[in-house]
């Protein structure tokens, strides 16, 4: 299929065309760049982040099931940990979200983090822009979950949901130092466990202290595996989207996005495989020095 056919298919809701387009974009091909030059549609993007073990996949599963039952079409971009050797995804959509995989109105794509420290994959910017050309009502991005560095999700999502658990008391200190600045909605998952009320109270106090004239991040109690609190969480996410809040740092985040794209474009003539082969040869020579090697590359 040529790019025109793939783009037409994506806009018509053809999930095979969308999967092919995403593969082009992930592999940084000329076809992928051509597709991206025709993007521009905007639909709500919801980023879901939090520490490993908080139940992000379970929450996404319950939340998207809820939306699908309302007749909404949802795309899920699930960023998985990657192998350090082949950069492939270690987890897959069938394993993590079995309840959604065969749902007609849900599209799921697992993306490898490929060494990214912030919980996102390097190509997520472009993939998200491409997915917005398809006839979805919402895009959900679930990050790897590696801590405070996940604040980069704020540069991509219109609404950021930060997930924690009752026994995550130490996380509150981390939230104070960074994530509080990007969270639009909080969910305390697994609230059938001891300590839930204390965690909810602590987060609500912190949220109130960081509130603005336009928005105070709500703190929602959930038990994702039982779909408890999902309706309330959905309403909170929708309320934030309706406000259309644009933060002061959006221009800086857009600058960061442009910088990343320019950087990647300038590196396109030096693919990772070629660099691997060059290093394989160079390291066998006497006196090999990585910094000399890097300086020699033009």
What does the pLDDT read at residue 72? 96
Q: Are residues 246 and 281 in the same domain?
A: no
Counting Cα atoms < 13 Å in the Cβ hemisphere of 246 gives: 5
Which domain CATH number covers 56? 3.40.50.300
Specify whether 26 is located in the same domain as 45: no
For 140, the 3-state DSSP assignment is strand
The reported pTM is 0.82
Q: Is residue 14 a part of any domain in this protein?
A: yes
133, part of any domain: yes
| Number of folded domains that form the chain | 3
101 in the same domain as 181: yes
Domain range for residue 32? 1-38
Reported as a single tens digit per residue, the pLDDT across 102-136 is 678 999 998 875 544 444 666 888 899 999 999 99
Q: Which residues are CB-contacts of 4 (< 8 A; sequence separation ≥ 6)?
A: none
Which tens digits make up the pLDDT trace of 27-52?
888 899 999 999 989 999 999 988 77
Read off the pLDDT of each residue in 128-154 and give the average, rounded to a whole number: 80
Highest mean pLDDT among 70-79, 120-129, 178-187, 229-238: 229-238
Note whether 33 and 56 are same-domain residues.
no
Do 46 and 34 belong together in one domain? no
What tens digit of pLDDT does each residue of 247-284 get?
A: 555 666 677 778 877 887 788 788 888 899 999 999 99
34 and 87 co-located in one domain? no
Task: Using the CB atoms, write b or e for 59-68: b if 16+ within 10 Å.
Answer: bbbbbbbbbb
Please answer whether residues 82 and 114 qualify as being in contact, where contact means their C-beta atoms are separated by less than 8 angstroms: yes
């Amino acid at each position: 299929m040529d790019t025109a056919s793939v783009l037409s298919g994506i806009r018509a809701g053809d999930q095979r065309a969308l999967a092919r387009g995403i593969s082009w974009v992930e592999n940084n091909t000329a076809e992928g760049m051509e597709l991206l030059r025709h993007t521009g549609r905007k639909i709500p993007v919801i980023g879901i982040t939090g520490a490993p073990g908080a139940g992000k996949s379970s929450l996404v599963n319950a939340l998207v099931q809820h939306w699908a039952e309302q007749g909404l079409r949802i795309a899920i971009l699930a960023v998985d940990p990657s192998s350090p050797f082949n950069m492939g995804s270690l987890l897959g959509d069938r394993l993590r979200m079995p309840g959604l995989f065969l749902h007609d109105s849900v599209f799921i794509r697992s993306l490898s983090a490929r060494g990214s420290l912030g919980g996102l994959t390097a190509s997520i910017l472009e993939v998200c822009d491409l997915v917005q050309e398809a006839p979805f009502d919402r895009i959900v991005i679930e990050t790897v979950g590696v801590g405070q560095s996940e604040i980069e999700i704020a540069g991509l999502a219109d609404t950021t949901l930060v997930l924690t658990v009752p026994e995550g008391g130490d996380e509150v200190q981390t939230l104070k130092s960074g994530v509080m600045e990007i969270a639009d909605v909080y969910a305390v998952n697994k609230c059938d466990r001891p300590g839930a009320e204390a965690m909810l109270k602590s987060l609500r106090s912190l949220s109130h202290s960081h509130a603005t004239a336009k928005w105070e991040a709500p703190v929602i109690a959930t038990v994702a595996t039982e779909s408890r609190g999902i309706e309330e969480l959905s309403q909170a996410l929708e309320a934030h989207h309706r406000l259309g809040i644009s933060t002061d740092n959006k221009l800086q985040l857009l600058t960061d996005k442009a910088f990343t794209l320019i950087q990647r474009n300038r590196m396109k003539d030096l693919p990772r495989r070629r660099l691997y082969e060059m290093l394989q040869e160079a390291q066998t020579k006497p006196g090999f020095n990585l910094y000399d090697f890097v300086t020699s590359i033009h």
